[in-house]
Amino acid sequence: MDKTRKFAPLSGPPVQDAWLDRLSYRRLLSVAGSMLIAIKAPNATFRKVYNAARMIPHNMRQTETAKMARQALVTEMKGYLNVHRSLDPSRVEGIARPHELHFPAVTEWGTLPPGFWHVSFEEFVGRLAFNRHRKAQVKLLFEALSLLKSAGCKKVTIAGSFTSNKPMPGDIDLVWDADGVNSEQLGPIFDENNGIELQRRFGIDASCQEWKLKLSIVQSLWGAGSPKPEEFVGEEFDQLPRFRAVGVLVLDLTQDLPVLRF
């Protein structure tokens, strides 16, 4: 099977990432592992190629098999970076905000395409509560949504890894619309200073602040092993994508919450 998937460059061959060709095998694996923070799909091609390269023993990394594995990984990394150059998060204000009920297909990396996607509760539960861990999270989420709804909240935005294909998200990122909300009825647990209590009780990382909403659709492209400036020459480091634009889900709280069947 061909795992060196080709990506169409924006204009000509992707020359921006020649720095990847200069990395040692070990460092290349480290950088690729850092990029996997942004890839939520367990069966993504990138993850498969990375795992194949990682499985080669250290004492065999000069063999032809290792060279092929390395080249496949470099190709996948260059293609991935090139795609995210075309999804410039600095254009976040221009990201589409579709209003029709529609749950989009996830990308090959397991995340939603950029946009504010308005979905029904039935779609939300049917698509995202696909294992025991996620069902438990949805139960806690619906307790929080009930409180928000009773206090006059009209809509919430759900973001983060819960909206992806990641099997076991750590929590659910939520931004509630404060317009018309009775904060006294909502209670002190939803105060900005009670984030830990919200996490403990409902499993949510929640806020009503505009910065949180913008942050939810612009996420980091790198983990702990991110590229270092000294690994680049010229303007290569400045040309490196650092963030990615992703999609979020919008739930209408003016409709009745469904009865969960689990």
Are 72 and 101 members of one domain?
A: no
Same domain for 108 and 79:
no
The per-residue pLDDT of the chain, averaged, comes to 89
Q: What angle do CA 214, 211, 228 make, to 5 degrees?
A: 75
More confident residue, 31 or 86: 31
Ramachandran quadrant class, 110 (left: phi over 0; alpha: psi -120 to 50; beta: rest): left
Q: Are residues 183 and 195 in the same domain?
A: yes
Domain match, 59 and 112 both: no
Same domain, 186 and 67: no
Quick one: 130 and 214 in the same domain?
Answer: yes
Residues 76 and 96 in one domain: no
The pLDDT assigned to 13 comes to 44
Q: Look at residue 203 and tell me if it is in a domain.
A: yes
Task: Identify whether residues 200 and 228 lie together within a single domain.
Answer: no
Residue 83 lies in a domain: yes
Residue type, 130: F
Task: Tell the burial category of 174 from Cβ atoms under 10 Å away from its Cβ (0-12, 13-18, 19+).
Answer: buried
Tens-digit pLDDT profile for residues 51-94 = 999 999 999 999 999 999 999 999 999 999 998 887 766 655 56
- Whether residues 226 and 191 share a domain: the answer is no
Note down the domain range covering 228: 19-88+221-236
Establish if 37 belongs to a structural domain. Answer: yes
Same domain for 33 and 100: no
Own/partner long-range contacts of 195-200 (Cβ < 8 Å, ≥24 apart): 198/144, 199/171
Statement to judge: residues 209 and 102 lie in one domain: yes
Which residues, in sequence order, are CB contacts of 95 under 8 Å at separation 6+?
114, 115, 116, 217, 245
Residue where the block lists tokens 């913008």? 214
Distance CA(128)–CA(164), nearest Å, equals 8
Query: Is the confidence at residue 2, as pLDDT, over 70?
Result: no
Cα gap 161→10, rounded to integer Å? 28
Domain-embedded: residue 4: no
How many residues are recorded in the chain?
262
Q: How far is CA 15 from the centre of its chain?
A: 26
Count of the separate structural domains present in the chain: 2
| Per-residue model confidence as pLDDT tens digits over 90-110 | 655 566 666 666 789 999 899
User: Do 73 and 185 share a domain, yes or no?
Assistant: no
